[in-house]
Amino acid sequence: MSRVRVGGFSISLDGFGAGPGQSLESPLGRRGQELHTWLVGTRFFHAMTGQDGGSDGVDQAYASRSMHGFGAFILGRNMFDPHRGEWSDESWKGWWGANPPYHAPTFILTHHPREPIEMEGGTTFIFVTAGIEAALAQARAAAGDLDVKIGGGVETVRQYVRAGLIDELHFALSPVVLGDGEAMFAGIDLPALGYRVTEHQAGEHATHIVLAR
The pTM of this model reads 0.95
Residue 169 in this model has a pLDDT that exceeds 90: yes
pLDDT, tens digit, 9 for 90 and up, residues 21-54: 877 778 888 898 999 999 999 999 999 888 999 9
Name the 3-class secondary structure at 140: helix
Give pLDDT tens digits for 171-204. Answer: 999 999 999 999 999 999 999 999 999 999 999 9
In this prediction, residue 210 carries a pLDDT of 98
**pLDDT tens sequence across 78-121:** 899 888 889 988 888 988 899 999 999 999 999 999 999 999 99
DSSP string, 49-71: TT-S--B-SHHHHHHHHTTSSEE
Rounded Cα distance, 35 and 9, in Å: 9
The answer to whether 130 and 107 are in contact (CB under 8 A) is no
Domains present along the chain, CATH in parentheses: 4-212 (3.40.430.10)
36-41, long-range: CB < 8 A, 24+ apart: 36/10, 36/174, 37/174, 37/176, 37/205, 37/206, 38/10, 38/63, 38/172, 38/174, 38/203, 38/204, 38/205, 38/206, 39/8, 39/10, 39/63, 39/172, 41/205
Decide: 92 and 81 in contact? Cβ < 8 Å: yes
SS3 172: strand
